Amino acid sequence: MNRRHFLKISAATAAAMASASISGTKGEGLFRPATAQAALAPETGSMGAKEVTSVCEMCFWRCPIVAKVKNGKLVKIEGNPKSPVNGQRVCARGNSGVQLLYDPDRVKTPLKRVGARGEGKWAKISWDEALDEVAYNMQKVKKKYGPHALAYFDHGASAEFMRGIFKAMGTENYTSEPAFFQCVGPPALAYLKTFGYVTTGTRQYNDMGNAKAMLLVASHIGENVHVSHVREFIEGLDKGAKLVVVDPRFSAPANKADIYLPIRPGTDTALMLAWINYVIKKNLYNKDFVANHCDGFDKLKDEVSDYSLEWAAKICDLKLVDIQEAIELLAKAAPHVNIHPGRHATWYGKGDLGRHQSYAILTALFGAVGVPGGIYFPTPVKKGHAECAEPEDVETADAETSMKDDSPYPFSYIFGTTTRSIIKAILTKDPYPVKLLGVNGVNIIQTIPDPYTTMKAIKELDFIFCEEMMAGETAIWSDIVLPDTTYLERYDGVYTYEGLTPYLTVRQPVVDPMFNVRSPYQIARGLAERLGIEGYSCESEEELVNEELKKADLTLESLNKQGGIVVYEGKPYRDPKTVKFSTESGKVQLAVEDFEDEDLDPIPKYDPTPAPPKGYTRLVYGRAPMHTFTRTMNNLWLHNEMPENKLWLNDKVAAKLGIKNDEEVILENQDGKRSNPIKVLVTPGIRPDVVFMYHGFGSKSKHLTRAYGKGAADGFLMTNIVNDRFIGADSKRTNFVRIIKNNRVLNIPELAALPREIPRYNSRLA
């Protein structure tokens, strides 16, 4: 498919079955073709249904939606036409919220474990019994071991209510672990320390729609479908933006690239540092911006001076002419160039932060900050704070030795206690025992690498409970399961978007809660009453929401009269002459003194990631357009679109191994751990020294009747973990696999010569 053809059918390919099309013809903007409109009119009209505005939670992007409810039943979900980011569009996952609501495998009532942890055997109990049991064990563990023996892993829009319970109990061990220690921690810290603000939160402040050139480093826009993100990417391409993609796999955006660089895995930072050196030596940087708004340029110039393009071409296994053409293309577009910060960053451990810091440095050298096409500044949107929805006067208890304050990772405190530290403390009781774990919105078995250690740690706990909608892996390992409402059955407070076109909206229930389930706020409030924790004084979530809306001069009633969303004027850009940054100096930090103060590199260095041992290849992973990891694998509509994942295997490697397309194999990692059977996708679209699979498959819970055992789980092949030195994030691309076919072990042939500068993985030294 060529680039222009892609743009013309982008709704189907990039928006993953979005409910409306996106034009690829310049000047036409957004449209719904007349033929489609005629065919879909009965379904896209009101159908006599009640329409309720809300916010999607099928992924973390949180698109504004309109739910159509007829006779008390949800029949359709569309985008909110007033939304400046997605309009009437929702992706496949957004549409399939209907099937989440009505999934017969939902947890319908509180459950108490009656078998061994991991067996998934429960007895149904009442809410009073469930909350009494949780409260009793929290008090018991705190009294016996101290408050820090309590820990909480959470993720999602409503997890903060239960987080408040753990904070009020006095523990320091609460963490939004997927968002930071398993995903965005390294880029969040890199951009915070370089520019003074985080560009890669729930939404990313990237003006791709106005870029003249874009760089994506293994960022799979179009596979990782977030509707507004994809729309902005398409808009930039439609306006003529040039695209450079660096990725060992020929991904969806690689197919649209002007220059595609199939880099050797683990060498991305080498390429970035060579590019930075080239930009400086060839005077391709924005001299005014660097002189007036950057600190540390001379130090940067000296530090990167030995990283040549010739050296990078050898290390990265790329053609010199290609990497030179790519950096000159990007430089020519400056300052309207988007060096995409990426999101998921926990790849190799020790070099992850430096890799993203190098993106930030290149952005600064091009002056691509606060200008159209670059990264931009968020526009704050006013909303109040509902004091009636959190504990009063919360203070964390002092610990003689603090996992948070005395962490070996000096910047982990920004994001909470590290996942790995908590798991280690459960097993070793060092620096103190952790004996109780609460979980909300996290599949701790599939999300956290090395699930074998996680399962071993869970067995050592006195008590573990979770809030869950579906009986997945976390549920089957829990002593008490508290059934949560879906996002379509509850309020979650006020949501604000601070991007190019800021807005305020509210998640609110579109139907009454089904079954014997409760909202996260109701669960937290019930526990607070039993634990003697004051502060959860809102009688209802409506009261909570109205408290937050006061500062915006709104109420739920007035907001709903305006279509459920209020749009504000954005102020994303700054005058390049007067722009200020929220760093200590008010300037961009090309060399970060805070890192140097902790004996860490103030400027990134290339630290080689070990290559696969002989006979193995590197395992990498990503997300499919129609799934949000394990969260959607049991969804009827989405499961129908993609019931299992496949293993991407280079065609030349497959030929040498005698493996044909769609043949079933098993993977074995460097430590002897084996996968479920997985079918092979033989393709020239991946390097010979790497294999790829989509994440989230291979469910271990028999209670998920569609997802159970379908495909292979990449996390169960991740047993070699390298921790980032800055925040302690876990690596996820430091594991290697070989193939087993018909009970015969097949060693992976090495088709790409390895430079002597790159060491080979040695299990004795890992």
In a domain, 141, yes or no: yes
In a domain, 676, yes or no: yes
Q: How far apart are CA 141 and CA 594, in angstroms?
A: 38
Q: Indicate the SS3 state at residue 628.
A: coil
The token pair that represents 2 in the structure block = 């060529």
In a domain, 528, yes or no: yes
In a domain, 247, yes or no: yes
Same domain, 451 and 537: yes
Q: How far apart are CA 372 and CA 370, in angstroms?
A: 7
Same domain, 250 and 358: yes
Report the amino acid identity of residue 499.
G
The token pair that represents 557 in the structure block = 């009633």
Number of helices (H), then strands (E), in the chain: 26, 26
pLDDT score for 765: 55
Q: What is the CATH number of the domain that holds 457?
A: 3.40.50.740
Q: What is the CATH number of the domain that holds 737?
A: 2.40.40.20
User: What is the three-state SS of 289-351?
Assistant: HHHHHEECHHHHHHHCCCCCHHHHHHHHCCCHHHHHHHHHHHHHHCCCEEECCCCCCCCCCCC
Q: What is the CATH number of the domain that holds 228?
A: 3.40.228.10
For the four alpha carbons of 519, 525, 531 and 533, in that order, the dihedral sign comes to positive
User: For 27-48, how does the pLDDT look when each residue is reduced to its tens digit (9 = 90+)?
Assistant: 222 222 222 222 223 344 466 8
In a domain, 561, yes or no: no
Same domain, 370 and 475: no
Contact between 63 and 77 (Cβ < 8 Å): no
Q: How far apart are CA 276 and CA 359, in angstroms?
A: 9
Same domain, 159 and 244: no
pLDDT score for 174: 85
320-333 vs 268-281: helix axis angle to the nearest 10? Answer: 60
The token pair that represents 135 in the structure block = 């409260």
Cis peptide before 335 (omega within 30 of 0): yes
pLDDT score for 747: 96
pLDDT score for 177: 56
Sheet holding 64-70: strands in order across? 50-55, 64-70, 73-79
pLDDT score for 19: 33
Q: How far apart are CA 139 and CA 146, in angstroms?
A: 10
Number of structural domains in the chain? 4
Shortest CA distance to 694 belongs to which of 617, 619, 641, 622?
622
Cis peptide before 602 (omega within 30 of 0): no
In a domain, 418, yes or no: yes
Same domain, 591 and 628: no
Contact between 323 and 267 (Cβ < 8 Å): no
Q: How far apart are CA 230 and CA 87, in angstroms?
A: 13
Q: How far apart are CA 468 and CA 485, in angstroms?
A: 8
In a domain, 603, yes or no: no
Same domain, 257 and 325: yes
The token pair that represents 681 in the structure block = 């996708």
pLDDT score for 201: 59
Same domain, 17 and 118: no
In a domain, 463, yes or no: yes
The token pair that represents 221 in the structure block = 């826009």
Question: C-alpha 149: how far from its chain's center?
Answer: 28
Same domain, 210 and 134: no
Distances (CA, A) of 550 to 16, 297, 385, 547, 716: 37, 46, 9, 6, 47
* DSSP letter string, 219-234: --TTTS--HHHHHHHH
| Residue 627, domain extent | 617-746
Same domain, 261 and 343: yes
Q: How far apart are CA 311 and CA 74, in angstroms?
A: 59
Please give the helix or strand (H or E) that residue 215 lies within, else none.
strand 213-217
Same domain, 173 and 203: no
Same domain, 364 and 347: yes
Q: Largest alpha-carbon pair distance within the chain?
A: 71
Same domain, 308 and 457: no
pLDDT score for 395: 65
| Long-range pairs of 235-238 with CB within 8 A, sequence gap ≥ 24 | 235/208, 235/209, 236/208, 236/209, 236/210, 236/211, 236/338, 236/373, 237/3, 237/7, 238/7, 238/23, 238/24, 238/26
For the four alpha carbons of 750, 753, 756 and 757, in that order, the dihedral sign comes to negative
Find tokens 């019930």 and name the residue: 526
List the chain residues with pLDDT less than 70.
1-47, 176-178, 200-203, 393-397, 764-766
